[in-house]
Every structure is written in C-alpha cells, then in structure tokens.
Amino acid sequence: MKLGKFQIDVIVENTAYVDGGMMFGVVPKKLWSKDVQVNEQNLVPMDLNVFVIRTGEMILLVDTGLGEMLSERQQKIYGTAPESRLESGLAELGIKPDEVDYVIHTHLHLDHVGGAVKDDGDGNPVPRFSRAQHILQKLEWEAANDPDERSEAAYDKSKFMPLYDAGLLKIIEGNVELIPGIKLVLTGGHTMGHQGVIVESEGERLFLFADIVPFQSHIRPAYVASADLFPLETIKIKKELLPDIAQHGWYLGFDHEIDIKVCRIIDTGMKLVAEKVEV
C-alpha cells in the first residue's frame, strides 16, 4: 500500500502456533474462540508479519520474525519449522538484505529478532542485514541480557549478540524521531522496553504497535496477552491510542494477525472494530 510518499509492504515470515491462553490472557476461550480458530491441540495460528517501509531514500524493516536458526526446543515452543520467508519475501519486492538501512526491533523476543541473523555456513549466527542499524530501546536491551524467569524462554542471546558484536546495534532511550516520518515510541506493556513505530507521510499515519495489539481481537482493552509483563500498562496505552487512531482515520498494522495486516479502526458507537485495508 501507499502511505503518502512511502511504500508499505508486509512479508509473512512464518506462521507459529501458540497457546490460546497465552495470547488472550484472562479472556475465556468461549469468547476468544469466536475470533480465531484453534487446532486440535488448542493452539492458535499466529503469523509473523514483517513490515517493510520504503521512503524513497531509505529501506526499513519492523521486526524480523523467527529466522531459520531455531533449536528443537524453540521449534516446539513456537510450533513451527524454521522455514523463514524473510529473504524470499524481500527478493519478491526486489530488495537485497544489504540494501536495508534500518531494522527496528519493537522488542527482542525471539519471534521479533530471530530473522536478524543467518547461518554463516558453519552453524554460527551472523547478521543478515550487514549494513543496517538495528534499533531498540535501552530498557529492552537490559531486560534481554538479564531476563527474569518469566521471560527467559523468549530471549535468545545468540540472535542479538551477533548484532552487538558487529557494531550494528543502536540503542535509544524513550521517544525518538529516527528519520523524517519514522517515530519510535516507548510503550512498555508487553515488556518494559517494548516500542511502537509511527510512520507518517503527507498527513497519513500508520501505527505499528506490535505486541500491544497483536491480533484484531486485541483492539478490545481487556484482550491482553498473558505473556505481557505489565498488562495494565498495555490497557492504558490502548485506551489512549486506539480511539485517537479511529477518530483520525489513521491506519493500524498487526504483527501477528492472519487475515488482516493493516486496518482502519471504526467506532460503531458501541465498540471499536477493525476494517481491513489491502496492503
């Protein structure tokens, strides 16, 4: 899709299968199962959507999916084989990995950073995007390097230390305008250092708030993943952000939704609902 002068595309990097209870928190299955299909093991499919932003001068990615270098345990946790469509998806858009200028990591959970590295041929992870600066929040960097017991399984240092070692990490603090039209916003909520991206061109805006609103169901304030470390913060952000997006007719992207990658939010008077926009 076009957003002002910018070109926005989405690559479905892989599809993972995760526990429904993990994704919808305190909401009972009787309610959330109206929105998503579960398989026989009670697992919910979750796309790993990588947003590609081309400004005309710069190429940016928001998150990188799981990548190809998953251990057997990680394949079990995410319920998927390491069949990354990241490079083939970029190739379809005519983009080579070394042409990417920035990779924005909303946070460092494996399903958002795994694709940032590739196998060097000897089984060692090396940066895939050799020229790109990889942007993340300082609070996220600190949490990922010293994770609490609850988060430990979601962070894998072998997926982000190669970026650090190669000098490709740019660690920021708080809200920052990365380049004209690309703003990064520290959200907290899902993790303490989780950030969202606001893309703006010619008055149009696209909000990529990743795991704050991973599926369209999460537009409802009480739908908060049990994986979120600070669920009340997630609710607060959504209550501030989503009515504002609806009122202005801005766009919202989903990092894990299957059917809808980008939507407008419609206020029916009773509730907010997602209206699909073709990307």
Q: How many residues line the site for Zn ion (CB under 5 A)?
A: 2
CB of 79: closest distance to Zn ion in angstroms?
Answer: 15
> Is residue 159 part of the contact set for Zn ion (CB under 5 A)?
no
Min dist. Cβ of residue 158 to Zn ion (A): 17
Cα–Cα distance measured from residue 168 to residue 8, given in angstroms and rounded to the nearest whole number: 24
Return d(Cα 193, Cα 136) in angstroms, integer. 8
> In whole angstroms, what is the distance from residue 243 CA to residue 179 CA?
26
Nearer to Zn ion (CB atom), residue 216 or residue 234 = 234
Site string for Zn ion, 84-123 (x = CB under 5 A): -------------------------x--------------
* Chain-centroid distance, C-alpha 175: 17
Min dist. Cβ of residue 144 to Zn ion (A): 11
| Secondary structure element (H or E) that encloses residue 159, with its range | helix 157-165
SS3 state of residue 62: strand
256 binds Zn ion (CB under 5 A): no
Q: Which stretch binds Zn ion (CB under 5 A): 3-11, 43-51, 174-182, 211-219?
A: 211-219
- φ, ψ of residue 96 to 5 degrees: the values are -95, 145
**Regarding beta strands 204-208 and 251-253, do their DSSP bridges make them parallel or antiparallel, or are they unpaired?**
parallel
Q: In the complex, what is the shortest distance from the CB of residue 236 to Zn ion, in angstroms, rounded to a whole number?
A: 18
Query: Contact with Zn ion (CB under 5 A): which of 211, 228, 255, 257?
Result: 211
Cα–Cα distance measured from residue 191 to residue 102, given in angstroms and rounded to the nearest whole number: 22
Residue nearest to Zn ion (CB): 109
By CB under 5 A, is residue 228 in contact with Zn ion? no
- Backbone phi, psi, residue 126, to 5°: -130, 155
For Zn ion, give the closer residue by CB, 158 or 226.
226
Q: How far is the CB of 120 from Zn ion (least distance, A)?
A: 26
At closest approach, how far in Å is the CB of 230 from Zn ion?
13
State the distance between the two ends of the chain, measured CA to CA, in whole angstroms.
5
Q: Which residues bind Zn ion (CB under 5 A)?
A: 109, 211
